[in-house]
Structure 1
């Protein structure tokens, strides 16, 4: 089958080896060199998602890669998104819309049908772009999942893509993982692999060279580059497994703002809090125990893919009592999406949409009640912030992803004025009487620089800290993408990458 676009695919020896950032880096490198490039990941399992302009839901990693490519994110770039609701079940999203819930076995049997949905969107991209940079999922050596594969070698075969295998040296065992992956591939799959990239290296390259020589001699394939461990830039994480506390070790300054985000078992869209990382005096940590809320200036309950089960977790692990106590003592408590729902009196799930539990008592910090419904709301939104949070009107942008409808007797957090570019007038969220507790359905609320700066400056003022000027989160993200691309370009053989992708004449 002929496609206009030239494909190149990055697969990994496992999850979290850096396929997403290598893909993003190559997208920016190719864009800078004048090529029209798009990212693609056939099947993405993640709880961080985004809503496109037409209301479709897709993985955040492909949004980041689209930003690197300088193009508008589209569900074509991530035709299948799996959002785990438990260890065995996931919500299956196809072409940006909910298809249904499936357990692991059901989805495995469904993959043959899913392939047509994948290829439909790949073909659309391949007609529009010069290059498609494809990211695999997990590892191609998961032999139990090889049948009807649509994420790794199965996809590479469908689109006739050459493959570069990425390994993470920081976690150890990189040579065993690369050689082992190659040994578990079929002969035709091995033939697709054109070389290796070793990622996250820190140390003496001279000491690494014998390992590189061994790998090349053993596999008869080149090491295309060794990418160093990149520090001091903010890159988005895709899965809750990669959450780490961001505070530096040692004694922390008492003049900093501490934000504690509850690390829920089914946390979702924790990229909502990346904008705080660019603020020079803000520490953001993910609290796995209620004792970690000690000293926090702001407590945030984030989004959840299983709101009732995660609310139950708050009660069982002592978080609920601690959060209530903090709120009663004047601390700021914020809820985003599912976290907003948890701040109310009850969350009800009469149809068992997310959980086997039909109801759970909320934290009762806001006079609201939520009923989970079968239909999911996905919108890009514009809104006006009301006076309970800000003394003057402020316009913000973001997106909604939720299956609940909330009724309230509180002042709203905002008035939504646009959904997917259609004018509306809808109350969103709620604010407590003292303004210290509030919640909203708007993801990306802290991406709004003016809102974030005013919100933090109010806290800085009360703590006697210097007020800060507005910092552009969008500009910082682009600076980080440029830095990432420069590091990757300087540490891999770009000419060979072009040769592998069939772009030698464009180099």
Structure 2
């Protein structure tokens, strides 16, 4: 089990590296995380031939482990819709009753499902690599814990505790976390990991030795800071406003992604961060759109609310100006819905709101969520997106809304082309593209067609991470 002293310590990608490393040793491996809180999710097989959704981190860990991602690997997914409210997804499906329950009352209902999923995976695999959440020493949450030490005790897992040394205070974080755990849980901590280290490792002495003297737990690995390890950040957007695909490479294209508060599936833009010469801007103000070749309106877990935020920042006028200057605009899922004339919510799913009016579309929200993973062939698409024409892609859908052309606006003379019924639209001048499909940029053919560049495959990223495991732990 990979635990962390905090969120962002590096649990997800350390677990991913271990999934691939154990697979390389010949083991049958599966990942597991009891509860994930993220608006970045992937569509995977669920019971009865249906589709469900799990957190992106466990989806990628399953690929690294060489197994088919499925809902038992992340039985509980919380998708934040507001500061005080999250949609609850249990075994891949939205559970409306659990969503309405107070947070501390959910544990008794969900723990049997979590334990059953974990036990089943343990029975079917040689190794299960478990990821924790946040910190196991959040003492205000310990009595209702269902994701950290309760899981560790249930599985009697060998636990690694990871700390981000780049933040400073790593030895205190490790010692403090260990010290706050009850004795039976401390006994499960088998090793400390110093992550994101840069500099001369000899300068760490005598810190690791002193820490072991205090706790009896050795520092088993020192992992260098890997600024571009190739995996998406679990929460999508980076703290920095911009990111260049490769340090020192001249900027050849700038892509601005609108980073509204409840943006979802930002992880699908990781390929852009891996392309030399591509500058990605996480845009939160009109000034950040200046000079962008494309602007992307990504998915949203709260489309109406994020649309109001977008207007409050003045980004609605900035988007219209961007298109008027000849720039390209791409709306994906919730971003597509924003491009239309209206959002209509008859069931209290998301909220009613006037759209940006850039495409003659109207979206009506359904109670039930559409989940689908598919292989598609794109139709012919007009310039400036013509390079996408006839590409075969793996894509997925996660959305409540159903969108259609608005007949009265078409009758009044506004033109839009429905390239794929109910899924893909293009403006009359071709510059605006809207689609319900997530994951298009994760297809190498799309990046090659739009940017003329090859990006590392996920498999090569997994192999590179696994290759580091031996050296990291040997140096611990």
* Kept after mapping to 2: 8 A contact 1:179/1:215: yes
**Cα separation, 1, equivalents of 2:231 and 2:450:** 23
Tell me, yes or no, if structure 1 residue 439 matches structure 2 residue 423.
no
Tell me, yes or no, if structure 1 residue 384 matches structure 2 residue 390.
no
**Cα separation, 2, equivalents of 1:30 and 1:129:** 11
* Kept after mapping to 2: 8 A contact 1:25/1:485: yes
2:361 match: 368
Q: CA deviation at 1:63?
A: 1.1
2:462 match: 481
Q: CA deviation at 1:323?
A: 0.3
* Kept after mapping to 2: 8 A contact 1:377/1:402: yes
Structure 1 residues 190, 253: CA separation in 2 closer, same or farther (over 3 Å shift)? closer
Matched position secondary structure for 2:467: helix
Matched position secondary structure for 1:446: helix
* Kept after mapping to 2: 8 A contact 1:88/1:103: no
2:410 match: none
2:196 match: 200
State the superposition RMSD in angstroms: 2.2
User: Which of the residues 12, 15, 21 maps onto 2:7?
Assistant: 15
> Which whole-Å deviations, capped at 9, do the CAs of 1:335-393 have from their partners, x for residues lacking one?
01000100011112232213xxx421211111101112211001012323232343743
**Cα separation, 2, equivalents of 1:172 and 1:316:** 37
* Kept after mapping to 1: 8 A contact 2:32/2:130: yes
Q: CA deviation at 1:110?
A: 1.0
Tell me, yes or no, if structure 1 residue 66 matches structure 2 residue 72.
no
* Kept after mapping to 2: 8 A contact 1:12/1:136: yes
Give ranges in structure 2 of 5+ residues lacking alignment: 407-415
Tell me, yes or no, if structure 1 residue 395 matches structure 2 residue 392.
yes
2:146 match: 150
* Kept after mapping to 2: 8 A contact 1:167/1:178: yes
Q: CA deviation at 1:305?
A: 0.5
Matched position secondary structure for 1:56: strand
Tell me, yes or no, if structure 1 residue 93 matches structure 2 residue 89.
yes
> Which whole-Å deviations, capped at 9, do the CAs of 1:287-326 have from their partners, x for residues lacking one?
1222100100000010111000000011111111100111
Q: CA deviation at 1:278?
A: 3.0
**Cα separation, 2, equivalents of 1:255 and 1:18:** 29
**Cα separation, 1, equivalents of 2:316 and 2:457:** 35
Matched position secondary structure for 2:243: coil
Matched position secondary structure for 1:147: helix
1:421 match: none
The equivalences for 1:233-272 within 5 A come to 233-240=229-236, 242-248=238-244, 256-272=252-268
Matched position secondary structure for 1:170: helix
**Cα separation, 1, equivalents of 2:343 and 2:399:** 13
1:455 match: 450
**Cα separation, 1, equivalents of 2:96 and 2:470:** 41
* Kept after mapping to 2: 8 A contact 1:408/1:430: no
Matched position secondary structure for 1:112: helix
Structure 1 residues 233, 252: CA separation in 2 closer, same or farther (over 3 Å shift)? closer
Matched position secondary structure for 2:270: helix
> Which whole-Å deviations, capped at 9, do the CAs of 1:156-197 have from their partners, x for residues lacking one?
111221211111101111111111111111111111111211
Q: CA deviation at 1:399?
A: 0.2
* Kept after mapping to 2: 8 A contact 1:47/1:238: no
**Cα separation, 1, equivalents of 2:461 and 2:348:** 42
Matched position secondary structure for 1:430: strand
**Cα separation, 2, equivalents of 1:155 and 1:104:** 24
The equivalences for 1:315-354 within 5 A come to 315-354=311-350
2:471 match: 490
* Kept after mapping to 2: 8 A contact 1:413/1:440: no
Give ranges in structure 1 of 5+ residues lacking alignment: 1-8, 415-425, 457-467, 497-507
**Cα separation, 1, equivalents of 2:243 and 2:106:** 43
**Cα separation, 2, equivalents of 1:243 and 1:215:** 31
Q: CA deviation at 1:245?
A: 3.6
* Kept after mapping to 1: 8 A contact 2:209/2:218: no
**Cα separation, 2, equivalents of 1:486 and 1:93:** 35
> Which whole-Å deviations, capped at 9, do the CAs of 1:61-106 have from their partners, x for residues lacking one?
0111111111111111111111111111111001100012767971
Tell me, yes or no, if structure 1 residue 134 matches structure 2 residue 130.
yes
Tell me, yes or no, if structure 1 residue 120 matches structure 2 residue 116.
yes
**Cα separation, 1, equivalents of 2:450 and 2:200:** 44
* Kept after mapping to 2: 8 A contact 1:66/1:72: yes
2:30 match: 38
**Cα separation, 2, equivalents of 1:24 and 1:210:** 30
Number of residue pairs matched by the alignment: 458
**Cα separation, 2, equivalents of 1:77 and 1:238:** 16
2:299 match: 303
2:53 match: 57
**Cα separation, 2, equivalents of 1:23 and 1:328:** 46
* Kept after mapping to 2: 8 A contact 1:89/1:102: no
Tell me, yes or no, if structure 1 residue 48 matches structure 2 residue 45.
no
Matched position secondary structure for 2:464: helix
